[in-house]
Amino acid sequence: MKTRLVKLASLLLMFSFSASPAQQDVTIVAPTSHAADGLDLKAVSLLFQDSENLEAFERDLNDSKTGINNLDLNEDGDADFIRVVEQADGDARLIILQVPLAENEFQDVATIEVEKTADDEYNMQLHGNHIIYGYDYYVAPAHVHIHAWPIISWMYGPVYRPYRSVFRIGFYPRWYRTYRPVSLTVYRTRTVRFTSRTTFSVRNTSRVRSVSKINYKPRSSTLVKKKMKVTVGANGKVRKTTVTKAVKKTKNPKTGKTTVKKGSKRTTKTKGRKKTTVKKTKVTKKKR
């Protein structure tokens, strides 16, 4: 009898935890492309928090020793240089992280959006560009007041001027040294000191409102659009198709022959919907 009561109490306890509203309200937001794996926006947020100004932020962002930038959008074997371009309107600040890929070819990767409210409070968030991170990908402070950050004091100083990087493809600062991207496993090991902290959280809703006053038109490179297969449908919604190559090897246990098939997986994403199709091809190679 005593054993049955203990089991019943355990079941009731498990049920009470599973029915908890906090367990049901968990939202998981994840980036939607391989390119997003090259720049973790939580790590970028921590770097921004610790920077004295945007010039120092740009320098540390492109430093191989920091290890946060692992992007290679044009796949030339070198990590991309990310320049920082700022726009301002009143107490709203929009900081654009932009990759020069060729002459007049730029790809906006993300924006840092900051606002000062009427009650002298501050809001900020990072917003991933939808071509790379998908729709509604935001990183924002989790229960952290940002007014004490050095970079916030600098941005809202009395003689402040918006920072605009002058660097472009082939024209880099003297301190910059090109470096090779690392594997995703190594990259996550390097950035774990940033991403393991709970200062920032990923969400799918915006918390900064006044930034809409700024006339910002995202710049997208035709090179990246072609790679990501970005098109606009008849309804005006952006559709993104990512094509990945695949090789399937099948070994016949009776004959010992291995059949190699090459194909591709095509994933098309419209906001709120995702469709994946697999294109098969004929046998391209046989070997023992």
Whether 118 is covered by a domain: the verdict is: yes
Give pTM, 2 decimals: 0.70
User: Is pLDDT larger for residue 29 or for residue 199?
Assistant: 199
Residues of the chain above pLDDT 70, percent: 68
> Which pLDDT score is estimated for 191?
92
β-strand partners of 126: 112, 139
Do 104 and 238 reside in the same domain of the chain?
no
Domain assignment of residue 246, given as a range:
230-287
Q: How does the average pLDDT of the chain come out, rounded?
A: 78
Least confident of 67-81, 126-140, 181-195, 270-284: 270-284
Burial 9-19 (b: 16+ CB within 10 A, else e): eeeeeeeeeee
Question: Looking at the domain assignment, is residue 264 inside a domain?
Answer: yes
Task: Please report whether residue 107 resides in a domain.
Answer: yes
Confidence of residue 175 (pLDDT cuts 50, 70, 90): very high
Higher pLDDT, 174 or 277: 174
For 197, the token pair is 């902290």
In a domain, 28, yes or no: no
Please tell me the total count of domains within the chain. Answer: 2
What pLDDT score does 6 carry?
42
Q: pLDDT, tens digit, for every residue of 82-107?
A: 999 999 999 999 999 999 998 888 99
